[in-house]
Structure 1
């Protein structure tokens, strides 16, 4: 599972984050999340994406590749569940 093409769309009322997710078989789809505009969602936070994508990756038996920095302390809690692909960088 690879995280690709992340966009953040902000209006006065809401923030929407849209990302393209590509699976190991080549299939891809868009995932999106909405929150209040004042929530200050950081779409480049690797920890955010790990927490959202890891359950799906584990269920599908896929490696997880995230192109954003991931805190080592956060990541160490998940190491036993799956291998992380080489795109996942650590801070």
Structure 2
């Protein structure tokens, strides 16, 4: 993570989750790998109408609970981000 973000630590805080209107998960099954944070995401979705977009070729638990699942072909997620 240090090479990508310049620091080694979580890319968000629980306070960020409480303020977000949308969440984007790219190749991350947060429901299984980060259940405490993902529970907060689900709570935010219920209370505020926030949306969760999941970009993953697999139908994960996160994808099943998201607002939208983009089932991209493996290796094409970067092309999606580039437009």
Q: TM-score range by the shorter chain?
A: 0.3 to 0.5
- Higher helix content, 1 or 2: 2
TM-score normalized by structure 2? 0.34
Q: Which has the higher strand share?
A: 1
